[in-house]
Structure 1
Amino acid sequence: MIHEIDEALRNLIRENALAGSGIEVLLEAPTKEWAARRNTPTVNMYLYDIREDLRRRELGRIPEYDSDGRIAARHRPPRHMKLSYLVTAWTQRPEDEHRLLSSMLVVLLANEMMPPSRLTGSLAELGLPVPMTVASPPPEDRAFADVWTALGGELKPSLDVVVSVPVPAVPPEPAAPLVTEDLVARVVTRQTRVAMSRQAKDRRP
């Protein structure tokens, strides 16, 4: 599931923002050592945080129906995970990096959802929307300076891209077997109860 978003986001950037440029799009940690090895223009999208999108959590069970329209199983709603990418541009000149960031920003802002045509594998099968945000303020418990400090690199202009991904729940729970026997009902009136009570008394020793 994560690797499917990696590929979808990479292709979206490569084919829409960097078309014809030949610039490589990587998924590596932009450490100081990594940056020192860069000698060609590069865009890097580093996955630095994974956490649940609690605002989208749903409760209950969702029924699944068989060909006869009967409930065959129930499953929990999917959970949604926020995948946060630190997107950076690496060239010899800051001006070129800013141009690349601008091109990517325009493309990402134009797509509030990951285009369905970009989704593959399990995400394509689910058929659920995959929202994206770019350059939103980070949560209070996270600062980009801390991310760069953890990587051991120098602070650099970047785009924070967050993709909210649906994750299927555990396997469905089979529904209880359908009752096929006829239901037998008996109506008991007041007179019947009185008669039954007398019969019970007569049987007592």
Structure 2
Amino acid sequence: MIGEIDEALRSLVKASDGIAADIDIALDAPTKDWAARRNAPTVDLFLYDIREDVRRREFGFIESRDERGVVVSRAPAPRYFKLSYLVTAWTQRPDDEHRLLDALLRCFLRFDAIPDGFVVDTLAETGLPCSITIAQPPPEDRAFADVWSSLGGELKPSLDVVVTAPLSRAIAYHVGPPVTAGVGASFEAMGFGSEDARFEPASDED
């Protein structure tokens, strides 16, 4: 899942009209050492946090049906995970970085979810969308300044892009074939008037 989302975001940026084709796209942590080695205009998509979206956790099963509409298997509902990316622009001049960030902002605002053409492999297993949010306030337990402090770099303008993706639990329970024949039963009545239950009066000899 994570690798597919990395490639989907990279492809999304490359396909954007406002971003030059010769700009490098990296997935590295933007540390001081990395910034010092950078020698070309770069967009960095750094994955810095992964956590489950527990508000969307579902219980129960999802049914799979064949072409006749018959249930053939049941699987647990997928879990949703939020992947947070620190998106930064790196050039020689701050105004160029701001223009590049503007293009990135417009790029991600175009989509509420990763387009179907970029949803492949494990992302496509559930058939559910991978939503995208951008520049939302961070959770109370996380601040962007803390992220930069952990990286040992200097604070600079950035975009927070969060992809919420469903992940199949790879568990399926197969269902047996439906019952097609009815259950039959036969009963033999016993009572007055039947040969097996005749009433005979007692003889005088008894």
For the criterion TM > 0.5, the same-fold answer is yes
Map of 2:79 onto structure 1: 79
- Any gaps of 5 or more consecutive residues in structure 2? 192-196, 198-206
Map of 2:201 onto structure 1: none
In structure 2, C-alpha distance between the alignment counterparts of 1:19 and 1:98, rounded to whole Å: 12
Quick check: 1:29 aligned with 2:29? yes
Map of 1:146 onto structure 2: 146
Q: CA deviation at 1:64?
A: 1.6
Map of 1:49 onto structure 2: 49
Q: RMSD between aligned alpha carbons? A: 2.4
In structure 2, C-alpha distance between the alignment counterparts of 1:68 and 1:97, rounded to whole Å: 56
Measured against aligned partners, the alpha-carbon deviations of 1:135-159 in whole angstroms (never above 9, x if no partner) come to 0000000001111111111111100
Task: Return closer, same or farther for 1:136/1:186 CA change in 2, 3 Å cut-off.
Answer: farther
In structure 2, C-alpha distance between the alignment counterparts of 1:142 and 1:176, rounded to whole Å: 48
Quick check: 1:161 aligned with 2:161? yes
Task: Return closer, same or farther for 1:154/1:17 CA change in 2, 3 Å cut-off.
Answer: farther
Q: CA deviation at 1:176?
A: 4.5
Describe the SS at the equivalent of 2:138.
coil
- Any gaps of 5 or more consecutive residues in structure 1? 193-197, 199-205
The number of residue pairs the alignment matches comes to: 193
Task: Return closer, same or farther for 1:67/1:106 CA change in 2, 3 Å cut-off.
Answer: closer
Q: Which has the larger radius of gyration?
A: 2
Is the contact made by 1:17 and 1:104 (CA closer than 8 Å) also made in structure 2? Answer: no
Map of 1:106 onto structure 2: 106
TM-score of the pair, normalised by structure 1? 0.84
**Higher helix share goes to which structure?**
1
Task: Return closer, same or farther for 1:20/1:92 CA change in 2, 3 Å cut-off.
Answer: closer
Q: CA deviation at 1:127?
A: 2.5
Describe the SS at the equivalent of 1:10.
helix
Q: CA deviation at 1:81?
A: 0.8
In structure 2, C-alpha distance between the alignment counterparts of 1:47 and 1:55, rounded to whole Å: 22
Q: CA deviation at 1:82?
A: 0.6
Q: CA deviation at 1:178?
A: 4.1
In structure 1, C-alpha distance between the alignment counterparts of 2:63 and 2:185, rounded to whole Å: 30
Task: Return closer, same or farther for 1:17/1:153 CA change in 2, 3 Å cut-off.
Answer: farther
Q: Show the 5 A alignment for 1:119-134.
A: 119-134=119-134
In structure 2, C-alpha distance between the alignment counterparts of 1:19 and 1:91, rounded to whole Å: 13
Letter in 2 for 1:131: S
Task: Return closer, same or farther for 1:91/1:74 CA change in 2, 3 Å cut-off.
Answer: same
Is the contact made by 2:62 and 2:77 (CA closer than 8 Å) also made in structure 1? Answer: yes
